[in-house]
């Protein structure tokens, strides 16, 4: 085979080499799984290195013992022996596979430095081979062989250069097509408000669209407070209404604290005011529900106490009885939780629950402007933030507010403090990588201080994460189709991102949804088909009523795209 390749016309060999270099680039672009990409390139590198050593050293027998250190002397000889051109070309071709594969093996993150390391390694390797050939009388020791081999490795690295250029172009296209100026400015305003990062507000921008985007991301007060001089009076009214609601919600926290404490019911209020406490200006965080966690045995008593201060039951929001929903005349809503949401029903979920089991024993009292309430300690607050964000992000989506909550929280720790408190538990729960990626997004887009423990991630992956957050908006308000995509993405029972293909994932999701919404099917497997029928009929009814749309190819493709991002989180994987 080697003799056959050597005898091929140089023009054909050149064309084949170019095709292989281009194909190798696109093979690596197509390998989305980093492990498979690493294995593929490692195998090619080992095989090419083995073949190279076999041809240049092991295959040869003792005989010739000459040395020629004159550079490019081959081209002088080629004037009389044209075959020397072929010899130089084949020596170049010999090291191309090494140049193709080695740069990909040096680091996961594309870096042009890998090309120069590869070329330097090839030069040293070639010099060692020439020395061995001379020392063991295996052939001529020539400077031109080192030059040709190094040139071959350099030609091989062109595949890696093409790979880097295509990735960069993809990133620019992605950012240009998905990332508009208002979104960039909005994130810069968040960085200014949260961390005093220098932000230049352009003289001309579409303030109306910027504030509309901020509402969908639930960070309107932050944006408005920094550009209020350029906003109309209606936006000012909206800002005042939000601040007024925040005050009412804060007051409700104090009322709930009073009635539960007076009646000796252990409780903790999580998210909301607990998250706001880490902000420089807590009132600029838009408040939602008052989330109250009590022990299951205290639910009935707490329910009566909430009703005694004006709350009215709306409905049991979750089919699995996760919490009870309330509202009252002043517009404040409340959720009385039996347990923390986002915990998977699996062995890992048991580990999560173990860490949550002592949440009432380590609560902290938080002083508000009108009183006080009880919130989780730092560990439990961080854990709940991760569980809540993971649950909603992999379902309907989250907005910038969730990312801001994590940014100000994580920024309150030194590296050593965070590692000491979180690294071991989060690794046991399969949430460490998710915490790292969220933090890297906060550093890159919201101005959070760099954290050594967060490690590294491809810029492209971080771009895809932030774009997914921005495209969904808070709880999917920007893209209602996300609700249709959930069944192709998440394993509801396990609380993780599914590993199955879209069809199997769909059936798995329908199965889990049926068991949650129609509890009677859990009594016998024979009842499951009836539950499926009810689930399908419910879906068709919602389609007819215009509350859902029929799934098309675009829905499945979008779901797969999101799923590829979420698989990088390795949620609840030990």
| Residue 219: other Cβ atoms inside 10 A | 26
> Residue 167: its pLDDT value, please?
80
Alpha-carbon distances, residue 233 vs 226, 229, 242, 406, 432 (angstroms): 15, 10, 14, 32, 45
Asked whether the whole model's pTM tops 0.85, one would answer no
Tell me the average pLDDT of the chain: 85
Dist. CA 256–CA 306, nearest whole Å: 7
Instruction: Average the pLDDT over each of 155-164, 261-270, 440-449, 491-500 and give the range with the smallest value.
Output: 491-500
Residue 403 in contact with residue 446, Cβ under 8 Å?
yes
- 51 pLDDT more than 50: yes
> Residue 493: its pLDDT value, please?
52
In the chain, % of residues over pLDDT 70:
90
- 47 pLDDT more than 70: yes
- 319 pLDDT more than 50: no
Average pLDDT over every residue of 165-193: 77
Instruction: Average the pLDDT over each of 211-220, 254-263, 490-499 and give the range with the smallest value.
Output: 490-499
104-122 pLDDT, tens digit each: 999 877 888 899 999 999 9
435-469 pLDDT, tens digit each: 999 999 999 999 999 999 999 888 888 988 999 99
Q: Which of 518, 558, 509, 512 is nearest to 538 (CA)?
A: 518
Q: How confident is the model at residue 387 (pLDDT cuts 50, 70, 90)?
A: very high
More confident residue, 523 or 111: 111
323-370 pLDDT, tens digit each: 899 999 999 999 999 999 889 888 899 999 999 999 999 999 998 877
Which positions ≥6 away from 470 have C-beta within 8 Å?
A: 178, 179, 183, 217, 400, 478
509-519 pLDDT, tens digit each: 777 777 777 77
> Residue 4: its pLDDT value, please?
60
360-383 pLDDT, tens digit each: 999 999 988 778 899 999 999 999
Helix (H, G, I), strand (E, B) or coil at 127: helix
Alpha helices in 196-314 (DSSP H): 207-216, 220-227, 233-262, 272-276, 299-308
> Residue 223: its pLDDT value, please?
94
Start-to-end CA span in the chain (Å): 47
Q: How confident is the model at residue 301 (pLDDT cuts 50, 70, 90)?
A: very high
| DSSP structural state of residue 295 | -
Helix (H, G, I), strand (E, B) or coil at 507: helix
Residue 480: phi and psi, rounded to 5, are -60, -25
């Amino acid at each position: 085979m080697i003799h056959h390749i050597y005898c091929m016309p140089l023009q054909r060999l050149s064309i084949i080499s170019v095709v292989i270099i281009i194909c190798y680039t696109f093979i690596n672009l197509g390998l989305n799984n980093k492990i498979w990409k690493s294995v593929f390139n490692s195998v090619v590198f080992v095989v090419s290195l083995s073949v190279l050593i076999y041809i240049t050293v092991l295959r040869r027998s003792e005989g010739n013992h000459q040395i020629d250190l004159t550079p490019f002397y081959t081209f002088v000889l080629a004037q009389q022996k044209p075959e020397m051109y072929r010899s130089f070309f084949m020596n170049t071709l010999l090291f191309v596979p090494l140049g193709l594969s080695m740069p990909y093996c040096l680091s996961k993150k594309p870096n042009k430095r890998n090309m120069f390391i590869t070329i330097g390694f090839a030069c040293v390797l070639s010099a060692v081979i020439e020395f061995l050939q001379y020392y063991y009388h295996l052939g001529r020791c020539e400077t031109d062989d080192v030059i040709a081999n190094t040139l071959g490795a350099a030609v091989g690295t062109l595949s890696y250069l093409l790979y880097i250029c295509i990735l960069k172009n993809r990133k620019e296209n992605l950012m240009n097509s998905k990332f508009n100026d208002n979104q960039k400015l909005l994130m810069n305003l968040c960085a200014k408000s949260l961390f005093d990062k220098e932000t230049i507000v352009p003289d001309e921008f579409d303030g109306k669209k910027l504030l509309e985007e901020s509402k969908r991301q639930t960070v309107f007060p932050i944006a408005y407070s920094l550009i209020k001089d350029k906003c109309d009076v209606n936006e000012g009214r909206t800002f005042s209404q939000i601040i007024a609601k925040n005050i009412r919600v804060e007051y409700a926290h104090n009322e709930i604290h009073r009635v539960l404490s007076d009646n000796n019911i252990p409780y903790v209020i999580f998210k909301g005011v607990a998250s706001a406490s880490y902000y420089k200006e807590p009132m600029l965080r838009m408040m939602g529900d008052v989330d109250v966690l009590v022990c299951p045995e205290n639910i009935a008593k707490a329910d009566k106490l909430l009703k005694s201060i004006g709350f009215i039951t709306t409905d049991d929001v979750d089919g699995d009885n996760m919490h009870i929903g309330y509202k009252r005349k002043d517009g404040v809503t409340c959720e009385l939780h039996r347990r923390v949401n986002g915990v998977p029903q699996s062995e890992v979920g048991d580990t999560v629950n173990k860490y949550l089991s002592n949440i009432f024993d380590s609560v902290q009292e938080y002083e508000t402007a009108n009183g006080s309430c009880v919130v989780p300690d730092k560990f439990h607050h961080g854990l709940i933030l991760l569980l809540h964000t993971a649950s909603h992000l992999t379902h309907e989506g989250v907005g910038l507010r969730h990312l801001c909550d994590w940014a100000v929280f994580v920024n309150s720790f030194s590296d050593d403090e965070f590692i000491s408190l979180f690294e071991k538990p989060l690794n046991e729960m399969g949430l460490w990588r998710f915490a790292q990626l969220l933090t890297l997004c906060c550093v890159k887009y919201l101005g959070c201080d760099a954290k050594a423990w967060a490690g590294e991630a491809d810029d492209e992956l971080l771009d895809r994460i932030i774009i997914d957050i921005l495209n969904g908006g808070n709880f999917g308000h920007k893209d209602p189709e996300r609700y249709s995509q959930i069944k192709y993405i998440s394993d509801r029972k396990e609380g993780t991102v599914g590993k199955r293909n879209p069809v199997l994932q769909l059936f798995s999701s329908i199965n889990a949804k049926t068991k949650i919404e129609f509890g009677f099917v859990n009594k016998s497997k024979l009842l499951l088909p009836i539950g499926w029928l009810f689930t399908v009929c419910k879906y068709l009814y919602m389609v007819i009523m215009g509350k859902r749309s029929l799934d098309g190819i675009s829905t499945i493709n979008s779901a797969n795209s999101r799923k590829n991002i979420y698989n990088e989180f390795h949620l609840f994987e030990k």
